[in-house]
Amino acid sequence: MKRGASIERQLGVGKGMAISRCVVFNHSLLHYHRRPPSLFSSALRSTSSSMEAPPEGYRRNVGICLINSSKKIFAASRLDIPDAWQMPQGGVDEGEDPRSAAIRELREETGVRSAEIIAEVPYWLTYDFPPHVREKLRHQWGSDWKGQAQKWFLLKLTGSDEEINLLGDGTEKPEFGEWSWMSPEQVVERAVDFKKPVYKDVLTVFKPHLE
């Protein structure tokens, strides 16, 4: 798998730097809103994001599966958990469409602007916060969310690797230390355990575009 420049070299700091923005979820609490991906033979090309509301009490979130011309998937290691690799994701702002949120989050976390949406998971995936995490986030966010509801998008990089910058677009603190292009199997293998079920389901839906 091809590795990109680490953010330590970009920032000129050591690997000891950490940004505490990680929230750990219990994968046993993962559940679906609507049908599981096994009932979908392929992901449909998306012309507009589904606006179906997620379950009440869940924070809206988007996930981004970014692929290159070789159909490899972008993954990056978190600064706060160096051994944890993940695909980009982030919250949806009030009144923001999930498609717009996906494009914004990709730009903020990776600096990538040259990408197009080619598919989306046509339903929300939700997971619950464990009690201690829910209490912590209640104070941090000022809202008592049960968990997060994710809408996943498949995007294709239309520019070059040089566009990828883990400092992002400068609007948010960096979240990642290193990046790499990976196979679907590698993405799941390198992910933390609580994200593996989601990643497996997302990549099942996007499989026709990854072959």
The answer regarding whether domain 2-11+23-47+55-210 maps to CATH 3.40.50.410 reads no
Confidence of residue 6 (pLDDT cuts 50, 70, 90): low
pLDDT tens sequence across 113-122: 999 999 999 9
Query: What's the rounded mean pLDDT across residues 23-38?
Result: 38
So where are the chain's domains?
2-11+23-47+55-210
Of 29-33, 53-57, 183-187, 197-201, the range with the lowest mean pLDDT is 29-33
What pTM was computed for the model? Answer: 0.72
Q: CA 84, CA 183: separation in Å to the nearest integer?
A: 16
pLDDT tens sequence across 150-179: 899 999 999 999 999 999 888 888 999 999
